[in-house]
Amino acid sequence: MDPFDSASDLAEAVRKRELSPVEIVDTCLARIDRYDPEVGAFVWRNDEQVRSAARRAEQAVMAGGRDLPAFHGVPIPVKDLTQVAEQPATYGTFGVHDTPRTVTEPVVTRLLDAGFLLMGRTNSPDMGLLSTTDNSRYGSTRNPWNLAYSSGGSSGGAAAAVAAGLTPVAHASDGGGSIRMPSSCCGLVGLKPSRGRVPQYVASWEHATVEGAITRTVRDAAALLDVMSVPDNLVMYRAPAPERPFSDEVGRDCGPLRIGLLLDAPTGLPVDPVCAAAAVHTARLLESLGHAVFPVSPRFFSGEAIVGYTQTVLDAALWASPYDRPELAEPHLRYRMERAAGRHSGTYTRAAALLQEESVVVRAQWGRDFDVLLTPTMACPPPLVGTVLAEANADPGGPRLTETQMISFTAVCNITGLPAVTLPTHTSPDGLPIGSQLIGGPWDEAVLIRLASALEELDRWPLRRPESFLG
């Protein structure tokens, strides 16, 4: 077994009895033993449970089981911000106990229904409120391409696990770029679904958070979206059903599209030339495929709306977080909670309403001014390990240059609910992956998958493995 095989290929090999789920799990666990002490992707392991699940999956195959689910016998880790019954969920903080949970969240139920075997939990920053994966409880998750650099966040543990070949795919979530930033840092495909696409009983941060996955290939990204987006009648809202399964969009022609190219950060911060170069490279590839690519200056959110989201909404969200001992949260988060306690509830109501009002204007540009928006994924390369957390804790109320650069192009998709995907289309001079981002119109993951699969075939990625570390 090649540890860098796609989940789809592994599942097919299991169905054909060319590979056993036991062999796949044993290979992954051996690589975790070997590499994760340095990478720091996993915060909790259930080796015996996943081995037992693999043996049961193997027995089902050998018994001639028909109609096996799509990913029967393939392991997947769950991000530490998502609950699974009989597993701890510590949310990357000393402020939450490690008592096993009694609830399994909908996205995990769908992964289990698809045949996945749950294999451990991956690291995240405290409550997911940081663009890198650094915390006081578990330490930092490092980038397998260069251990001195961050894997991004908040799904940095998930991305590092996939990039290092510890798992074929990983569950992730995204509230401001948390699937796309780590995927960009680690040379992976990070598809952020539309709001309401993957069922959630609680969508935090004024419905900005979504559940998803980090993958090595577009085919896996589409197939996982299919299994994760099975509707749930108990959720408050859901995205419109797609015209066809997302897997059927891989390789499908989408005709000539109008693709707007945005190289200036909506935050007004400088964009590193290597990040702009990634988007320009992707623009040229898209032009070669027959699409019209042209510069645009879209309208985004007002300063009042951005401050309302980044401060009022996110500060208040911490009061709904599952802290048992909030006094043990990271200093920058304790500062946020104290700031929120001094605000009038009407301030929050106004901030939430303004985000909804302005989102209508932002979303209207898709289909009218352009079909898809192309941007750098981040405005800076992956930062050094620990620097973003140190910056936040040193001056919790001050400006955070690096973190704001990281989320400059991604957060708008969460506020508006638009789908987006980051693709590993570039590499920095020092060998770090640099992604470019495609943002689709409302509920239009299909066009992103079509474009991404065409680029994947043309540009000869995925990047296979971080040779400098893993060999």
In 3D space, the residue among 25, 31, 74, 63 whose CA is nearest the CA of residue 47 turns out to be 25
Look at strands 117-122 and 75-79 and give their pairing. parallel
| Strands annotated E in 240-315 | 258-261, 292-295
Q: Which residues contact 280 (CB under 8 A, 6 or more apart)?
A: 261, 263
Active site residue 408: no
Residue 344 CB burial class (10 angstroms; 0-12, 13-18, ≥19): exposed
Residue 359 annotated among the catalytic residues of the structure:
no
Question: Helix 218-228 crosses helix 445-459 at what angle (to 10 degrees)?
Answer: 160
| Sheet strands (E) in 17-116 | 42-44, 75-79
Strand (E) or helix (H) holding 436: strand 433-439
What type of residue is 88? P
Q: Is there a catalytic annotation at residue 192?
A: no
Cβ atoms of 470 and 149 closer than 8 Å: no
Burial annotation 163-201 (CB, 10 A radius, 16+ → b, else e): bbbbbbbbbbbbbbbbbbbbbbbbbbbbbbbbbbbbbbe
Nearest to 168, CA basis, from 224, 207, 128? 224
Cα–Cα distance for residue pair 248/319, rounded to 1 Å: 42
Q: Which position among 8, 20, 154, 359 bears the catalytic label? A: 154
| Per annotation, catalytic residue among 6, 8, 79, 183 | 79
DSSP 139-181: EEPEETTEEEEE--SSSHHHHHHHHTTS-S-EEEEESSSTTHH
Strand residues in 246-345 grouped as ranges (E): 258-261, 292-295
Tell me how crowded residue 336 is: count the other CB atoms within 10 A of its CB. Answer: 24
User: Given phi > 0 = left and psi -120 to 50 = alpha, else beta, which region is 398?
Assistant: beta
SS3 call for 104: coil
Nearest-angstrom CA–CA distance, 443 and 49: 37
Active site residues: 79, 154, 178
